[in-house]
Amino acid sequence: WRWPRAIGWTCIIYTRRGDVEVAGRTVPVHSTVRLDRESEVVMLKGGPEGGDILVLAGAPLGEPIEMGANIVMNSRQELAQASTDMRFGAFGPVWEHTEDDESWIGRVSAHWGQLGLGARKP
Protein backbone atom coordinates (compact mmCIF):
# COMPACT_ATOMS: atom_id res chain seq x y z
CA TRP A 1 0.00 0.00 0.00
CA ARG A 2 1.35 3.40 -0.93
CA TRP A 3 0.08 6.67 0.53
CA PRO A 4 1.40 10.13 -0.40
CA ARG A 5 1.33 12.53 2.53
CA ALA A 6 2.32 16.12 3.13
CA ILE A 7 5.85 16.68 4.41
CA GLY A 8 5.75 17.76 8.03
CA TRP A 9 2.65 15.78 8.95
CA THR A 10 2.67 13.61 12.03
CA CYS A 11 1.84 9.99 11.17
CA ILE A 12 1.45 6.91 13.35
CA ILE A 13 0.39 3.46 12.21
CA TYR A 14 -1.14 0.80 14.45
CA THR A 15 -1.21 -2.81 13.24
CA ARG A 16 -4.55 -4.42 14.07
CA ARG A 17 -3.98 -7.79 12.38
CA GLY A 18 -0.90 -9.42 10.91
CA ASP A 19 2.66 -8.18 10.73
CA VAL A 20 3.18 -5.22 8.41
CA GLU A 21 6.36 -3.87 6.88
CA VAL A 22 6.53 -0.09 7.31
CA ALA A 23 9.40 1.90 5.79
CA GLY A 24 11.44 -1.30 5.49
CA ARG A 25 10.99 -2.61 9.05
CA THR A 26 8.54 -5.18 10.36
CA VAL A 27 5.93 -3.93 12.80
CA PRO A 28 4.29 -6.82 14.70
CA VAL A 29 0.55 -7.09 15.27
CA HIS A 30 -0.83 -4.82 18.04
CA SER A 31 2.15 -2.46 17.76
CA THR A 32 2.44 1.21 16.89
CA VAL A 33 5.10 2.96 14.84
CA ARG A 34 5.60 6.71 14.49
CA LEU A 35 7.02 7.86 11.17
CA ASP A 36 9.38 10.76 10.65
CA ARG A 37 7.91 13.96 9.27
CA GLU A 38 10.23 14.14 6.27
CA SER A 39 8.85 11.29 4.13
CA GLU A 40 6.55 12.27 1.29
CA VAL A 41 5.30 8.72 0.76
CA VAL A 42 4.36 6.04 3.26
CA MET A 43 5.02 2.52 1.97
CA LEU A 44 3.43 -0.49 3.67
CA LYS A 45 3.53 -4.17 2.83
CA GLY A 46 1.43 -6.86 4.48
CA GLY A 47 3.04 -10.05 5.72
CA PRO A 48 2.16 -13.55 4.47
CA GLU A 49 -1.20 -13.43 6.28
CA GLY A 50 -1.98 -9.92 5.05
CA GLY A 51 -2.53 -7.07 7.46
CA ASP A 52 -5.04 -4.60 8.86
CA ILE A 53 -3.84 -1.18 9.96
CA LEU A 54 -5.06 2.09 11.43
CA VAL A 55 -3.35 5.22 10.10
CA LEU A 56 -3.56 8.43 12.12
CA ALA A 57 -2.06 11.44 10.38
CA GLY A 58 -2.36 15.18 10.21
CA ALA A 59 -0.64 18.53 10.36
CA PRO A 60 1.08 19.29 13.67
CA LEU A 61 -1.28 21.01 16.10
CA GLY A 62 1.06 23.85 16.99
CA GLU A 63 -0.25 24.00 20.56
CA PRO A 64 0.78 22.66 23.98
CA ILE A 65 0.50 18.91 24.44
CA GLU A 66 0.25 16.98 27.70
CA MET A 67 0.07 13.19 27.62
CA GLY A 68 -0.89 10.69 30.29
CA ALA A 69 -1.31 6.97 29.55
CA ASN A 70 -3.52 6.87 26.44
CA ILE A 71 -4.93 10.41 26.71
CA VAL A 72 -3.53 13.55 25.07
CA MET A 73 -4.78 17.01 26.02
CA ASN A 74 -3.50 20.61 26.13
CA SER A 75 -2.96 21.00 29.88
CA ARG A 76 -2.54 18.96 33.07
CA GLN A 77 -5.96 20.22 34.20
CA GLU A 78 -7.62 18.96 30.99
CA LEU A 79 -5.74 15.67 31.38
CA ALA A 80 -7.08 15.21 34.92
CA GLN A 81 -10.65 15.95 33.76
CA ALA A 82 -10.32 13.57 30.81
CA SER A 83 -9.07 10.81 33.13
CA THR A 84 -12.12 11.31 35.34
CA ASP A 85 -14.43 11.32 32.31
CA MET A 86 -12.86 8.09 31.07
CA ARG A 87 -13.29 6.36 34.45
CA PHE A 88 -17.01 7.18 34.37
CA GLY A 89 -17.51 5.92 30.81
CA ALA A 90 -17.86 9.26 28.99
CA PHE A 91 -15.26 8.20 26.40
CA GLY A 92 -17.07 4.97 25.62
CA PRO A 93 -16.39 1.42 26.70
CA VAL A 94 -12.97 -0.08 27.30
CA TRP A 95 -12.09 -3.14 25.23
CA GLU A 96 -9.21 -5.52 24.70
CA HIS A 97 -6.97 -4.60 21.78
CA THR A 98 -7.36 -8.17 20.48
CA GLU A 99 -11.16 -7.92 20.23
CA ASP A 100 -12.59 -8.51 16.74
CA ASP A 101 -14.73 -5.92 14.94
CA GLU A 102 -18.05 -7.69 15.57
CA SER A 103 -17.48 -7.94 19.33
CA TRP A 104 -16.31 -4.32 19.46
CA ILE A 105 -19.42 -3.07 17.63
CA GLY A 106 -21.65 -5.01 20.05
CA ARG A 107 -19.81 -3.62 23.09
CA VAL A 108 -19.96 -0.02 21.85
CA SER A 109 -23.65 -0.27 20.90
CA ALA A 110 -24.53 -1.74 24.31
CA HIS A 111 -22.55 0.96 26.13
CA TRP A 112 -24.25 3.89 24.43
CA GLY A 113 -27.63 2.15 24.79
CA GLN A 114 -27.13 1.90 28.58
CA LEU A 115 -26.56 5.65 28.68
CA GLY A 116 -29.90 6.22 26.96
CA LEU A 117 -28.26 7.38 23.76
CA GLY A 118 -29.37 4.41 21.67
CA ALA A 119 -27.21 2.09 19.65
CA ARG A 120 -24.66 3.83 17.50
CA LYS A 121 -23.92 2.63 14.00
CA PRO A 122 -20.23 2.21 13.12
Is 80 exceeded by the pLDDT of residue 113? Answer: no
Sign of the torsion formed by the C-alpha atoms of 25, 31, 35 and 41: positive
Domain residues for the domain of 54 are 2-58
> Count of CB atoms within 10 A of residue 15's CB?
23
> Tell me: the pLDDT tens digits for 8-39?
888 888 888 888 888 788 889 888 888 888 87
The DSSP bridge partners found for residue 27 are: 20
Q: Are 47 and 18 in contact (CB under 8 A)?
A: yes
pLDDT (0 to 100) of residue 1: 79
Average pLDDT score over residue span 47-59:
86
- Measured in Å, how far apart are the chain's first and last C-alpha atoms? 24
pTM of the complete model: 0.61
Confidence of residue 122 (pLDDT cuts 50, 70, 90): very low
Q: Are 41 and 9 in contact (CB under 8 A)?
A: no
3-state secondary structure of 37: coil
Confidence of residue 120 (pLDDT cuts 50, 70, 90): very low
Shared domain for 37 and 13, answered yes or no, is yes
Shared domain for 71 and 113, answered yes or no, is no
